[in-house]
């Protein structure tokens, strides 16, 4: 890990899509990681995560699929409709543009692109894995809500399990055992479907924590579990993307 400071800025990915891009020091080609945020939008937590990954040697890009909408963590009722207004088709289209942007970037190592998402972004990471095929080499999803939910809160959110044949990258799915929105039954259905389709994946369920345990700006944050999950994430990316 280098001690030099990465560069980071808001960039124009396409005419209709911006993103927060953090580049590692130097100019050698590096693995890239797409970051998908929670329902609250492109806030400082995810900018900080991009900088953190860049300092470790990754090109990190947070596509702003919500188009500049940012909400406080106490504004769930306002954030949910804005986030859910992004259809699966719209999301995939925007991430395809982000992938092309990375593939054309001189500092990105070809065929070494991973992705990580949290909450809604965890579902988006799973969805992207089903649609982007060989363009993605590793996927990590933290407490991705709505992948195959029976919860009334996700009644309008289509299950992603019918799409898993398209997944070509290894997955790491991480959950909190006390997450009231993602039950053990749902995790079981996801696990069974992935195993039945012959996919390469791992599932980690942490006891004693619920949703959003990895966000240090939220009351649900658990520093010990967050550190354990982050170490698993970094090891997963190193194994499947190579050394940064």
Average predicted confidence (pLDDT) for the chain: 96
Alpha carbon distances (Å) from 68 to 38, 71, 101, 163, 221: 13, 10, 19, 29, 25
Beta-ladder partners of 7: 23
- Tell me what pLDDT residue 36 has: 98
% of the chain beyond a pLDDT of 90: 93
> How does residue 85 score in pLDDT terms, banded at 50, 70 and 90?
very high
- Tell me what pLDDT residue 2 has: 45
- Tell me what pLDDT residue 243 has: 75
Q: May I ask the CATH class of domain 7-241?
A: alpha beta
The model's pTM:
0.96
- Tell me what pLDDT residue 25 has: 92
pLDDT of 96-109, one tens digit each? Answer: 999 999 999 999 99
Q: Whose CA is closest to 128, among 50, 56, 196, 33?
A: 33
Q: Give domain limits for the chain.
A: 7-241
Q: Which residues contact 74 (CB under 8 A, 6 or more apart)?
A: none
pLDDT of 176-191, one tens digit each? Answer: 999 999 999 999 999 9
pLDDT of 58-74, one tens digit each? Answer: 999 999 999 999 999 99
> Count H helices, E strands: the chain?
6, 8
């Amino acid at each position: 890990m280098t001690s030099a400071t990465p560069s980071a800025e808001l960039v124009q990915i396409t005419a209709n899509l911006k993103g927060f891009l953090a580049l590692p020091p130097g100019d050698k080609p590096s693995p890239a990681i797409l970051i998908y945020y929670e329902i609250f939008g492109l806030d400082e937590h995810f900018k900080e995560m991009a900088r953190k990954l860049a300092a470790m040697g990754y090109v990190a890009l947070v596509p702003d699929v919500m188009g500049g909408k940012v909400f406080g963590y106490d504004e769930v009722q306002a954030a949910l409709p804005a986030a859910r207004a992004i259809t699966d088709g719209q999301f995939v289209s925007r991430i395809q543009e982000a992938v092309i942007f990375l593939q054309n970037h001189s500092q990105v190592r070809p065929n070494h692109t991973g992705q990580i998402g949290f909450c809604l972004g965890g579902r988006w990471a799973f969805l992207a894995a089903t649609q982007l095929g060989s363009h993605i080499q590793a996927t990590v999803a933290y407490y991705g809500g709505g992948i195959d939910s029976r919860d009334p809160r996700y009644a309008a959110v289509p299950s992603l399990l019918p799409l898993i044949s398209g997944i070509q990258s290894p997955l790491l799915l991480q959950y909190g055992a006390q997450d009231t929105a993602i039950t053990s039954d749902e995790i079981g259905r996801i696990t069974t479907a992935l195993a039945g389709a012959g996919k390469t994946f791992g599932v980690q369920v942490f006891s004693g924590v619920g949703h959003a345990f990895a966000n240090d700006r939220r009351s649900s944050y658990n520093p010990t579990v967050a550190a354990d999950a982050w170490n698993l994430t970094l090891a997963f990316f190193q194994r499947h993307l190579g050394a940064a």
